């Protein structure tokens, strides 16, 4: 059993002394699984749907029983739900007005987490958000959500003032700070949200491909010394897999946390 | 902004593509509108499903649990108060019962004393009656003895006197008159 098999990607170098082909962005352009009309349905698209189904099934069945003394499933669901609800919703947005945003934060966290974890689940082994467009979509939603919350609460002018004019600053400093604040609070945020998620997933997966295919190539084509290095590469690939698990969770956490903070910022009365 | 970033990275990857074989490569940052659309749709559906079917259930469960715990505490408090009242009532009843018992005991003792004194009185009367009766009987017997003695003593005395005098004093009438006279004198001397 090869690590490449475990990591689950096609090995570009088919052994036998060929030139080693380093993995690249091309590894993320998966072929269509099937096509509907002119739309090619690819694996990450199916993963999105699968993740949504899994998340909903888990939460729905955990929430449905509504027992006062919860069983195992309900307990697990309540713990996970409460962690997001209290840890990110209540503690950041504030206990006064976090309630309407619970469904949004819950959806974001579990959806991103599940899609990230797909990267480490056997036979799936592909991070959905290594497709940048999907990360763009979520970041776009986040941008719309926090800005519309702010505009609805403060009005367009009030909201722009809230986001762009730092409190306690007067005079010519405003000329410098207002454009900067505008840029960072209203334009850069969605970009960083999307890129942070995408880059972490992309890079982690690339690293795993590199270590596993490189290790295989060294084992097949190297001198005994190089073969030893190949084994080390595989051991590292396993270690990196565990590191990736942490990154996958962290990225889901950070994405949700930032959403909560942006919402809090849009609701705030002052900076 | 985004498109600027994308075009930037495209030029960067184009420069690097030389090493990355002949498969046609897009920048990984390029926007694939189909993927954006699918992500939006799936996320939207998941969001509304969670909002409608998951969050209300969890929130209701939490609320119910809170009220259940609070209600439980309240119920326990009222139960406690009830138990306290019951205890006080029972203690009152116990005190009453003790009082009652003491009263009954006191009464019984009085009654006992009364009964004893009555019995004693009765016994004394009875004793007195028996003594009286005995005295009367003795008196009667004495009387009888006196009567019979009188007769017998007369007879004996006349017989004795006759023997001493030597004459018959068989004349009953006379002798009995003498005896009677003698006895009357004796009684008179008494």
ipTM: 0.87
Position with higher pLDDT, A208 vs A16: A208
Q: What's the pLDDT band for B128 if we cut at 50, 70, 90?
A: very high
Identify the weakest region by mean pLDDT among A133-142, A222-231, B93-102, B115-124. A222-231
Q: Which residues pair with A199 in a beta bridge?
A: none
Which residues touch B64 (CB under 8 Å, ≥6 apart)? A66, A68
**Which residue of B1, B45, B47 is in closest CB contact with A103?**
B47
Per-residue pLDDT, B83: 95
Token pair in block for residue B90: 């029972």
pLDDT at A9 over 60: no
**Which of B144, B121, B1 is CA-nearest to residue A195?**
B1
pLDDT of residue A10: 45
Kindly report the pTM of this predicted structure.
0.69
Share of chain B above pLDDT 90, in %: 55
Residue A27 is predicted with a pLDDT of 84
Contact A202, A133 (CB under 8 A): no
Report the alpha-carbon distance of residue A6 to residue A125 in Å, rounded.
Answer: 9
Torsion over CA: B46, B49, B50, B54 (sign): negative
Residue A171, token pair as written in the block: 């005079």
The DSSP letter of residue B18 is G
Q: What is the mean pLDDT of chain B?
A: 83
Provide mean pLDDT across the span B156-182.
Answer: 73
- The three-state secondary structure class of A60 is helix
| pLDDT at residue number B172 | 72
Q: Which of chain A's residues have a Cβ under 8 Å away from the Cβ of B13? A: 25
Chain A nearest C-alpha distance from B79 (Å): 22
Kindly state the tokens that stand for A249. Answer: 């969770």
- Interface A–B counts its CB contacts (< 8 A) at 129
Whole-angstrom CA distances from B138 to B15, B127, B134, B135 are 165, 16, 6, 5
**What is the band of B124 on the pLDDT scale with cuts at 50, 70, 90?**
very high
Which among A44, A77, A111 is the nearest to B46, CB-wise? A111
Instruction: Name the least confident of A14-18, A252-256, B80-84.
Output: A14-18
| CA end-to-end distance (rounded Å), chain A | 56
Q: Which residues of B touch A (CB under 8 A)?
A: 1-2, 5, 13, 19-21, 23, 25-40, 42-43, 45-47, 49-51, 53-55, 57-61, 64-65, 68
Alpha-carbon span A42 to A119, nearest angstrom? 15
User: Residue B18: pLDDT above 50?
Assistant: no
């Amino acid at each position: 059993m090869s690590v490449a098999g475990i990591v689950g990607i096609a090995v570009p170098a088919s052994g036998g002394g060929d030139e080693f082909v380093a993995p690249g962005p091309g590894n993320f352009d998966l072929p269509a699984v099937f096509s509907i009309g002119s739309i090619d349905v690819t694996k990450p698209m199916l993963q999105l749907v699968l993740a949504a189904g899994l998340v909903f099934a888990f939460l729905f069945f955990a929430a449905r029983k509504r027992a006062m003394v919860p069983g195992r499933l309900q307990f697990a669901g309540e713990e996970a739900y409460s962690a997001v609800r209290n840890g990110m919703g209540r503690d950041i947005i504030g206990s006064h007005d976090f309630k309407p945003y619970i469904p949004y934060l819950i959806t974001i966290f579990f959806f991103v987490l599940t899609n990230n974890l797909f990267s480490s689940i056997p036979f799936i082994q592909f991070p959905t958000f290594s497709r940048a467009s999907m990360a763009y979509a979520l970041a776009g939603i986040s941008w719309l959500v926090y800005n519309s919350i702010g505009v609805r609460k403060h009005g367009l002018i009030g909201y722009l003032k809230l986001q762009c004019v730092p409190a306690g600053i007067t005079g010519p400093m405003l000329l410098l700070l207002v454009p900067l604040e505008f840029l960072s609070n209203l334009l850069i945020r969605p970009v960083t949200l999307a890129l942070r998620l995408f880059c972490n997933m992309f890079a982690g997966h690339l690293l795993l491909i590199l270590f596993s295919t490189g290790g295989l190539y060294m084992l097949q084509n190297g001198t005994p010394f190089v073969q030893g290095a190949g084994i080390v590469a595989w051991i590292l690939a396993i270690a990196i897999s565990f590191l990736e698990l942490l990154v996958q969770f962290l990225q889901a956490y950070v994405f949700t946390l930032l959403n909560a903070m942006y919402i809090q910022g849009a609701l705030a009365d002052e900076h | 902004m985004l498109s600027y970033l994308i075009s930037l990275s495209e030029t960067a990857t184009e420069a690097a593509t030389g090493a990355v074989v002949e498969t046609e490569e897009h920048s990984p940052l390029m926007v694939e509108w189909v993927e954006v659309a699918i992500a939006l749709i799936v996320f939207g559906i998941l969001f509304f499903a969670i909002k409608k079917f998951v969050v209300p259930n969890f929130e209701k469960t939490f609320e119910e649990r809170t009220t259940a715990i609070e209600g439980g505490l309240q119920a326990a408090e009222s139960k406690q108060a009830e138990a306290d009242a019951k205890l006080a009532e029972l203690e009152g009843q116990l005190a009453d019962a003790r009082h009652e018992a003491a009263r009954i005991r006191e009464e019984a003792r009085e009654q006992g004393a009364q009964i004893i004194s009555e019995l004693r009185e009765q016994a004394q009367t009875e004793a007195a009656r028996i003594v009286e009766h005995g005295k009367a009987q003795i008196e009667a017997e004495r009387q009888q003895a006196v009567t019979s003695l009188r007769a017998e003593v007369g007879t004996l005395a006349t017989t004795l006197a006759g023997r001493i005098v030597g004459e018959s004093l068989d004349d009953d009438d006379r002798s009995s008159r003498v005896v009677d006279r003698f006895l009357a004198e004796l009684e008179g001397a008494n």
